[in-house]
Structures are given as C-alpha cells and as structure tokens.
Structure 1
Amino acid sequence: MELNKYIDHTLLNSDATERQIIQLCEEAKKHDFYSVCINSSYVPIARQALLHSDIKICTVVGFPLGAMSTDAKIFEAKKAIEQGADEIDMVMNIGLIKSRNYLGLLKDISNVKLAIGKVPLKIILEISELSKNEIVKACEICLDAKVDFVKTSTGFSKSGATLTAVKIIKKTVRNFIKIKASGGISDAETASKYIDAGVERIGTSAGVAIALAS
C-alpha cells in the first residue's frame, strides 16, 4: 500500500523554527505527501516553500484547546486561507459537549464552516477527553454541521488515535464524513491498520519513516 498520499506531514510544536517548517515542506515534496500540517503563523512560509508543487497546506485553528470564541476561530481560519491555507483543522470546544450545550457546539462549528465556504474543515474531537457517548454525539453534530472530516486528536493531550474510537466514529458518520486519525501513529503498520478501518487521512510527524517503510 502506498501510504504517502494519506499523510498530512505534521509539525505543530510550539518551538518549531522557520527552518524546520521549510524542511517539513521539502520532505513533503520529496515523498509526495498529501499536505503539510502546521500552525497558522507559518502558512506564508509554507506557501513560499511549496510553490510549484501540488502539496496542500493544512493549518490548525483554535489549537490545541478549542476553547476560543467562535469569532476568534473564524478570524484565524479566514486569515490562514487568505495567506494560502488549503484546509482547516479546528479543535472542537470540548467544554460545550461536556456541558451538553449541543446547540452551542453546533453553532460554533457551523459558523466556522459557513465562514470558510468550500475550504475543507476537519473537526478535532480530542477523543482522549471524551466518553463513547460523547464521541457519538460530537460526530452527530459534525454531520449536522456538514463538515468534511472528523479528526481524532491534537496529539497534545493524554493520548492520540485509537482503532476503537475510529470504529465508533466510522459507525456514526458512515460515508458522509471522512476520518483523519492523528496522534501516536509512527509506523507504516499502524498507519495501514487505520486505513483498513476506514481512515482517509493520517496526521503524523513520522511521515518520512512511514513513507520509507511502505
């Protein structure tokens, strides 16, 4: 299985340097990954580094906690798109689902989706913080908001993706929303298992190792 086109080659560390972002982009070109996934302040650098390539630029919004106001998320997303981002990975407001404020959560996600139009929106659930029922409810809200992807994790919480959670997500969203697994996926064998479970994108900082092994 050729895994490279499933990979969002990721560098989201707070101490990532401009040189490292450029290196990430060079690796993405060399291995023909689907995208690079970076913090929004680095979108202009990535855009310059990826000129004349078909590698997409994916950026995170409301990262890593998701507790920002909807207006802040909209501003960050629209600014990133203006500067060259092709996809937005937005962290869900976990506090809203814990509060059972489902309408508030739907509005938060829907308003961002409406603001960015046809640009793909991935909603990061942070599954390590959610019960099975909360994962299901979050996915139902994402269906109502007509987002493009549900993403498992930021990679900055207690744990990352699990096959169990992916199966719950897949059963809920079926083929209406795509799934991105991220957090702790560091080898080709593990990546392949997620793809076999129905995942259409892999977020990982180990993209080069995975590509070389596949």
Structure 2
Amino acid sequence: MMDISNYIDFTLLKAHTSERDIIDLCHVAKTQNYYSVCISSCFVALAKQLLEDSNVKICTVVGFPLGNMSTEAKVFEAQKAIEDGADEIDMVINLGYLKSRNHVFVLKDIIDVKLAIGSTPLKVILEISELNKNEIIKASEICVDANADFIKTSTGFSKSGATLTAVKIIKKTIRNKAKIKASGGIHDFETALKYIDAGAERIGTSKAIKSKSNNRQIRNTKIYTDYIETVLHKNPTPTMQSNSNAKH
C-alpha cells in the first residue's frame, strides 16, 4: 500500500468559498494528514489559526487565475500572503507574454516573485490546456532558469486540467532541476498514483483522496497462491511425484 497523503495539496479556490468551507477543508486536511491546503490568500490568516497544531502547510495562489496582472502586483500579493502565514506560493505564468514569445518578461516575472519570497517554495502554473508541446517545453525551461521550485500544470479554471502526457513532457524537460505539481481533474487514488508514477511530486485536488487499504494486495496474494497451487497440482515436481509413488 502506498500512502499518498503527503503528496496532496487539498484545494479549495472557488469564488463562493465561505469561511465555513475553509474550516471544513482544514479539518479534513488534518484528519487525512495531507501535505497542505491550497486556498485563496484572503483565507490564509484563518487557515493559519486552524492549522497551528498540525503539520499541514498553507499554500496560496498569486496572480490567479489569469496571470496577466503586473509583476509588482504579484510580488505584493505574494509578500502579503507570506506575512499572513502562507508557507508556499502558486503563481500563474503570464500566458499572454509567453504566447507573444516575450520570454524575457516571462522570466523576469517569475524571478521577481521568487526573489521577493526568498526561501518560500514557489510553484509556477503553466495552464497546459492553453499551450502546445513546444510552449510547454519553453515555459518549463524558463521556470528552471528562474529557480522556481515546482512547475504546476493547471489552475483548474481553464478548458481542462492535468494530463499525463504534459507531466511526462515537463519531467523530460526539467529532469531533476525542479519538481512537478499535477493539478486539475485528479479525483481518485488510482489517477493520483498514475501522475506520481509519471513524475509528479505533488497532487492538487479538491477531492478528499484517501490512500487505499491493502485489501487489493490481499486479494492479489490469494489469487497468486491459488494459481501456484493449481500449477503444482497439474505439474507436480519430481519430489512430489516421488513421494506420491512411494505411497503406492
């Protein structure tokens, strides 16, 4: 059995999220021992109070969900979130400038936020549903050059979320120079495990995913044992044959 709880950024970023929703989110995160909660910055101070007696970290989003505000605005938002208690920052890349091939601006946008938050982990959201393969590769290279800690696939607010193909492309591009967060459309243990196998080291999900029990392993062990017994019955070893003949 694989315990994936420490991979999970338990996420709630809906516009109508209430304080009661954040209280419930933090309770589940503590109960399931998730790595973090990922929430809007206005709720960071509340989450800090709710999670002070736990190991669950607080992740918040910056420039969310479009990414096309000024770098100065992103820097201020990130610094304020950390002041309120955020442990990690997920910022949205500037897609417009990336599409314009203004790679210098995209690089500077990320660098300025990273410099402003220091050792606080920075995840850069690419929004892969808006990018082709070459753009995903280029964006990933820029993130590495800007010393981003993670590359995140999606905001969850666009046409689609994470894909295994995109995660594999990102992993091949960055190798071990940064980590990957797969986010968007991951709602169950089996799907999460596929992304982890593909190279993701963090999973963003709004569903309370639980690690599987070992029931499947027990069932598989029983099937294997029954199979071996059947094979041995049909094809006894020489020793078994000898013992059988001796009895007769």
| TM-score range for the pair, normalised by the shorter chain length | over 0.9
Query: What is the match of residue 185 of structure 2?
Result: 184
The reply on whether 1:47 has 2:43 as its aligned counterpart is: no
**Aligned residue number for residue 146 of structure 1:** 147
Mapped to 1, the partners of 2:203 and 2:100 lie a distance apart of 30
Measured in 1, the distance between the counterparts of 2:52 and 2:91 equals 25
Q: Residue 77 of structure 1 aligns to a residue in which SS? A: helix
Q: Which residue of 2 aligns with 1:11?
A: 12
2:89 pairs with 1:88:
yes
SS at match of 2:210: helix
Over aligned residue pairs, what C-alpha RMSD do you find?
Answer: 0.7
CA distance in 1, matches of 2:211, 2:99: 41
Aligned to 1:38: 39
Aligned-partner Cα distance in 2 for 1:3–1:143: 26
Higher relative contact order (CA 8 A, sep 6+): 1
Output the CA distance in 1 between the equivalents of 2:204 and 2:173.
Answer: 21
| Displacement after TM superposition at 1:3 (Å) | 1.0
Cα distance in 1 for partners of 2:129, 2:30 equals: 32
How far off is 1:39 after superposition? 0.3
Q: CA offset at residue 51 of structure 1? A: 1.2
CA distance in 2: counterparts of 1:145 and 1:212, whole angstroms: 34
Other structure's SS at 1:90 match: strand
Instruction: Summarize the alignment of residues 120-135 of structure 1 with structure 2, pairs less than 5 Å apart.
Output: 120-135=121-136
Query: Aligned partners of 2:139 and 2:174: how far apart in 1?
Result: 10
The residue identity in structure 2 corresponding to 1:26 is H
Shift of 1:213: 3.9
Cα distance, 1:86 vs. partner? 0.1
1:67-125 CA distances to partner (integer Å, 9 max, x unpaired)? 01000000000000000000000000000110000001000000000010000000000
Deviations 1:44-81 (A, max 9, x none): 11001101111000000000000010000000000000
Residues in 1 aligned to 2:91 and 2:4: alpha-carbon distance in whole angstroms: 24
Query: Gaps (5+ residues) in structure 1?
Result: none
For residue 184 of structure 1, what is the amino acid of its counterpart? G
Structure 2 equivalent of residue 200 of structure 1: 201
Paired AA for residue 155 in structure 1: G
2:26 partner letter? C
- Residue 211 of structure 1 corresponds to which residue in structure 2? 210
**Identity across the alignment (%):** 69
Distance in 2, matches of 1:2 and 1:53, equals 18
Q: Residue 243 of structure 2 corresponds to which residue in structure 1? A: none
Provide structure 2 residue ranges, at least 5 long, that are not aligned to the other structure. 214-248
- Residue in 1 that maps onto 2:221: none
Distance 1:174 1:51 in 2: 35
Q: Which structure's CA Rg is the greater one?
A: 2
